[in-house]
Amino acid sequence: MRFSSSIVSNLSRPRVFKDPRLFQITALGSFLIFGILQLGWHHELTRLGALIVLTLGFQLIAIHLFKLPKDAWKSGLISALGLCLLFHTSELWIIVFASAVAIFSKYLIRWKGKHLFNPANIGIVLPMMLTNEAWVSPGQWGSEAMLAFFFLSAASMVLMKVGRIDTSLTFLITLFILEYMRSVLYLEWGIDVVFHKMMNGSILLFAFFMITDPRTTPNTQKGRILWAALIALASFLLTSVFYLHTAPIWALFLSAPVSALINHLYGGRDFTWKTLSLSSNKSKQ
């Protein structure tokens, strides 16, 4: 089954969400508000505020230093919200470090003009790797069915506008099959165990808003499907063999260079937000 790009180009988009990043900001911001109001994150407002202010501040510095388009702040805000939703620390200097890494890695760690690592992902991984004061809490979202529906509905609307829904579905389907084979067929547990793992809010957030970053995913659909399957396999092995509860975060970090290799093998046109905007305008003419 092939996910047709023509479907994407023909979707109507409200004028306020002409740039898909604005919709993504709205969706991630809604998740953050949900966490504050419903999940008790109100006691972490200092951490959340610091992450947003510092990440946006570093993005504005990068805009000046690297002569970037002024609307690059949107990408910076997406990275900031991603850090807010997954990254935890009680140390201000680590917040500064994570925010700086998330932004400047885009411009300092590049391959053939394209940044190699997902900004929020590397902003999470390096502090966890280099300090003992940073962590991710996969269970903070719970596994409520309504929360899962909320994630899936909003995320699908975002992804269909940048043509990366194939990446999410491949990751989730591959991971589900692997978990089913282990839990149900091998360990003879109930299938509800598999659904409990898959309906975790952090998994869905990762699948729909992190591995689908169009600037770091492979350029071709075939490449994205292969890459997403490899990330799912790595996540499964890190969880099942090494019992790493933050496995998808590490799997994406380790798989980032593979995306560049896949682009080398399969080619394809590099994604840019400017190109997407232009193609959107042409489709309306």
Residue spans per domain, the chain: 14-284
In the structure, what pLDDT confidence band is assigned to residue 177 with cuts at 50, 70 and 90?
Answer: very high
Domain 14-284, classified CATH 1.10.3430, yes or no: yes
Among all chains, which residue has been given the structure tokens 């991630």? 28
pLDDT at 179: 96
pLDDT of 5 higher than 80: no
pLDDT digits (tens, 9 = 90+) for 224-242: 999 999 999 999 999 999 9
Please name the residues in contact with 68: beta carbons below 8 A apart, sequence gap of 6 or more.
62
pLDDT digits (tens, 9 = 90+) for 90-132: 999 999 999 999 999 999 999 887 889 999 999 999 999 999 9
3-state secondary structure 253-279: HHHHHHHHHHHHHHCCCCCCHHHHHHH
How far apart, in whole angstroms, are the C-alpha atoms of residue 51 and residue 245?
Answer: 23
Beta bridge partners of 135: 88
What is the β-pairing status of strands 87-89 and 134-136? antiparallel
Buried b (16+ CB within 10 A) or exposed e, 168-204: bbbbbebbeebbbebbeeeeeeeeeebeebbbbbbbb
The answer to whether the CB of 202 falls within 8 A of the CB of 141 is yes
Enter the pTM of the model.
Answer: 0.86
Beta bridge partners of 136: 87
Residues in the chain: 285
**HSE value, Cβ hemisphere, 13 Å, CA-based, for 46:** 5
Beta bridge partners of 87: 136
